[in-house]
Amino acid sequence: MKVYIACDHRGVDLKEFLKNQLKKDYEIIESSIPNNPEDDYPDFAFNIGKLMDKNSDKAVLICGTGIGISIAANKVKRLRCGRVLSAEDAKLARSHNDCNAIAIPASLPQEEALAIVKVFLETEKSDLEKHKRRVNKIISYEEGTYNEL
């Protein structure tokens, strides 16, 4: 599995830690945009969204709070990004919502962030019909074919 990772200037230390830990088990691909003190989180979310295969790859996105980069990521068609703060959030984002990306805050302790990311990467999407139905509604909305109830 390819795991894409990107951050704005506030997440560089955490990104480097995660990248070094995860490369033992995954193919890690960084954003092609270099970090600098004045960079902007949307650029990284959009770059990863353009690079990754949304059907098979996963992404870990980092900004100061994880909120801004998750909002930007969710503007990319077929990218479903949940902002997560715990392993339980990561598990549910993946299993219930078929998220192919998570956003975390740069302030998370490194080992805690690693545990969260590992849960996300190791969790399978749910086969329950209700979860499939809900995700398919999101996809159909993106495609312009959603029919309101």
Number of structural domains, the chain? 1
59 is a domain residue: yes
pLDDT in tens, 17-40: 999 999 999 999 999 999 999 999
pTM: predicted TM-score of the whole model, two decimal places: 0.96
pLDDT in tens, 66-93: 999 999 999 999 999 999 999 999 999 9
Q: What is the model's pLDDT at position 63?
A: 98
11 is a domain residue: yes
Helix crossing, 12-22 with 110-122: angle to 10°? Answer: 50
Domain containing 42: what range?
2-143
Q: Using CB atoms within 10 A of its CB, is residue 84 exposed (0-12), middle (13-18) or buried (19+)?
A: buried
Single-letter amino acid code for the residue at 16: E
99 is catalytic: no
Q: Assign 148 a pLDDT band (cuts: 50, 70, 90).
A: confident
For residue 125, pLDDT over 90 is answered with: yes
What six digits make up the tokens of 53?
């295969």
61 is a domain residue: yes
For residue 112, pLDDT over 80 is answered with: yes
10 is a domain residue: yes
For tokens 């949304």, the residue is 54
Q: Beta strands 101-105 and 81-83: pairing type?
A: parallel
CATH number for 10: 3.40.1400.10
Beta bridge partners of 4: 29, 59
131 is catalytic: no
CB 100 within 8 A of CB 80: yes
148 is a domain residue: no
Q: Which of 72, 51, 62, 70 is nearest to 22 (CA)?
A: 62
Q: What is the model's pLDDT at position 59?
A: 98
Which is catalytic among the residues 7, 63, 81, 99? 63
Q: What is the model's pLDDT at position 89?
A: 98
Which is catalytic among the residues 9, 81, 96, 99? 96
149 is a domain residue: no
